[in-house]
Amino acid sequence: MAQQQGQERQGQFAGRVAVITGGARGQGRSHAVELARQGADIAVVDRCADLATVTYPLATPDDLTETARLVEAEGGRCVTGQADVRDLGAMIAFVDGVVEELGSVDILVANAGVSTMCSIFDLDADGWSETLDTNLTGVFNALRAAAPHMRRQRWGRMVTVSSMMGRSSNPLISAYCASKWGVIGLTKSVAQEMAHSNVTVNAIAPGNISTDMIHNDTLYRLMRPDLEQPGADDVAGVMASLHVQPVPWLEAEEITSALVFLCSEGARHITGSVIDVDAGASARFTA
Ligand code: NAD
C-alpha cells in the first residue's frame, strides 16, 4: 500500500474515503479522480494482471500507479493495493487496512469487471467461473468487506456496476449477462439490509463505454468478422445499434456523473435503484 498526505480538502466529499475496485484504469480511474477532485481520499484495488479466459489485457501495475498520481494531483491521499476481487479474504484485508490508514470507508464503488464473449457451445467451466467470480462474487466480496464499517459508521454509499446487459441480453455473452443480472439482484437485496444503517446501495447500468474493455482487437473482430483488421471506426455502427441515441459509446466521465449523484446528500433516499446511463438503450427493455 502507498499513501501520501494531501493538503486541506474542499468539496462535497471532503472527509470521506472512497474505495474503488478495478480502479487502475477506465471507469474506475475516472471515478477515483473525480471523487478526489470533490474532496475524498481514495483507495484503489485492482488485480493488475491478465486472466486466462479474458481475451484482452487487463490493467497493469503502472496503470495503478498512474491512477494514484492523478488522485494525488487533485490533493487526495491515495492508498493502492494489488488484489483480486474474487478473494474475499483479500478484500476484507484491503478494506480493513484502508480504514486503519485513512480512518473510514464511506463510499464503495464495486466496479471491477471483465467482459467475455463466447458461444454456449464453447464456454467451459473456467470461462464461466472467471466471469461470474469476478463480476458477481467480486461485487459481493467488496460489499461484504465494507458493510460492517458502514453499519458501524451509520453512513455509507455503495454503488455497484452492472450493465445494459444486466437488464437485457444478446447472444454470445451469456456469462457476462448472468453476472450483471446477478449484480442487480444482489444490490437490491443488500439495499434492504443496509436501509436502517443510513447506507444506500444502488447500481449503475452503463451502455458502451469508451474504455479498453470495448476498444480491443478481439471485440472488434467479433463485431466485424467480414474485415481482416477492423478498427474503432469500423465497429462504430454496430456499437451504436445497441443504443437508441445515435452514438457508439459514451465517455467514462458520464458514468462518473451518475456515481457522484448517487454519493451526494441529494440522493440519500435513493436506494435499491438502478440508474441506466446507456444512450437510451433501456427505453427498449425497462418499464
Ligand atoms: P476496464 O477493463 O478498463 O476496467 C476494469 C478494471 O477491472 C481493470 O482495471 C481490471 O484490471 C480490473 N479487474 C478485472 N478483473 C479483476 C479482478 N478479478 N480483480 C480485481 N480487478 C479486476 O473496463 P471498464 O469499462 O472501466 O469497466 C468497469 C466496469 O464497467 C466493469 O464492471 C464493466 O463490466 C462495466 N461495464 C463496462 C462497459 C463498457 O462498455 N466498457 C459497459 C457496461 C458495463
Whether 248 lines ligand 1, by a CB cut-off of 6 Å, is no
pTM: 0.97
| Catalytic (active site) residue 56 | no
98-135 exposure pattern, b = at least 16 Cβ within 10 A, e = fewer? bbeebebbbbbbbbbbbbbbbeeeebeeebbebbbbbb
Read off the pLDDT of residues 94-128 as tens digits, 9 standing for 90 and up: 999 999 999 999 999 999 999 999 999 999 999 99
The secondary structure element, H or E, covering residue 55 is none
- Residue from 13, 94, 176, 249 carrying the catalytic annotation: 176
Residue 6 has pLDDT above 70, yes or no: no
- Nearest atom within ligand 1 for CA of residue 165: 43
Cα distances (Å, whole numbers) of residue 28 to 18, 89, 114, 195, 257: 11, 22, 13, 25, 12
Q: How many residues are given for the chain?
A: 287
The secondary structure element, H or E, covering residue 165 is none
Whether 134 lines ligand 1, by a CB cut-off of 6 Å, is yes
For residue 213, the CA-to-ligand 1 centroid distance in Å is 7
Bridge partners for 33 per DSSP: none
DSSP conformation letters of 217-277: HHHHHHH-TTSSS--HHHHHHHHHHTSSSS-S-B-HHHHHHHHHHHHSGGGTT--S-EEEE
Mean pLDDT, rounded, for 221-225:
94
Read off the pLDDT of residues 150-207 as tens digits, 9 standing for 90 and up: 999 999 999 999 999 999 999 999 999 999 999 999 999 999 999 999 999 999 999 9
Mean pLDDT, rounded, for 26-45:
98
For residue 59, the CA-to-ligand 1 centroid distance in Å is 9
Query: Tell me, what's the pLDDT at 1?
Result: 42
Among residues 37, 172, 187, 36, the alpha carbon closest in space to that of 115 is found at 172
Query: Which of 19, 54, 58, 65 to mutate to test ligand 1, by most ligand atoms within 8 A of the CB atom?
Result: 58
Mean pLDDT, rounded, for 271-284:
98
Read off the pLDDT of residues 228-273 as tens digits, 9 standing for 90 and up: 999 999 999 999 999 999 999 999 999 999 999 999 999 999 999 9
Residue 132 has pLDDT above 90, yes or no: yes
Whether 256 lines ligand 1, by a CB cut-off of 6 Å, is no
For residue 27, the CA-to-ligand 1 centroid distance in Å is 7
- Place 35 in a pLDDT band, splitting at 50, 70 and 90: very high
196-233 exposure pattern, b = at least 16 Cβ within 10 A, e = fewer? eeebbbbbbbbbbbbbebbbeeebbbbbbeeeeebeee
Whether 243 lines ligand 1, by a CB cut-off of 6 Å, is no
- Place 212 in a pLDDT band, splitting at 50, 70 and 90: very high
Pick the CATH number of 17-284 from 3.40.50.720, 3.40.630.30, 3.40.250.10, 3.30.420.10: 3.40.50.720
The set of cell numbers assigned to 239 is 456499437
Residue 2 has pLDDT above 60, yes or no: no
Residues 6+ apart with CB under 8 A from 43: 17, 18, 19, 20, 78, 79, 80, 81, 94, 95, 98, 102, 105
For residue 257, the CA-to-ligand 1 centroid distance in Å is 17
Whether 213 lines ligand 1, by a CB cut-off of 6 Å, is yes
Query: Tell me, what's the pLDDT at 7?
Result: 57
For residue 75, the CA-to-ligand 1 centroid distance in Å is 25
Read off the pLDDT of residues 38-78 as tens digits, 9 standing for 90 and up: 999 999 999 999 999 999 999 999 999 999 999 999 999 99
Query: Tell me, what's the pLDDT at 8?
Result: 81
For residue 132, the CA-to-ligand 1 centroid distance in Å is 13
Whether 104 lines ligand 1, by a CB cut-off of 6 Å, is no
Domain boundaries, the chain: 17-284
Whether 175 lines ligand 1, by a CB cut-off of 6 Å, is no
Whether 47 lines ligand 1, by a CB cut-off of 6 Å, is yes
Residue 143 has pLDDT above 70, yes or no: yes
Alpha-carbon distance of 17 to 213, in angstroms, equals 27
The set of cell numbers assigned to 167 is 437488464
Residue 14: HSE in the Cβ half-sphere, 13 Å Cα cutoff: 8
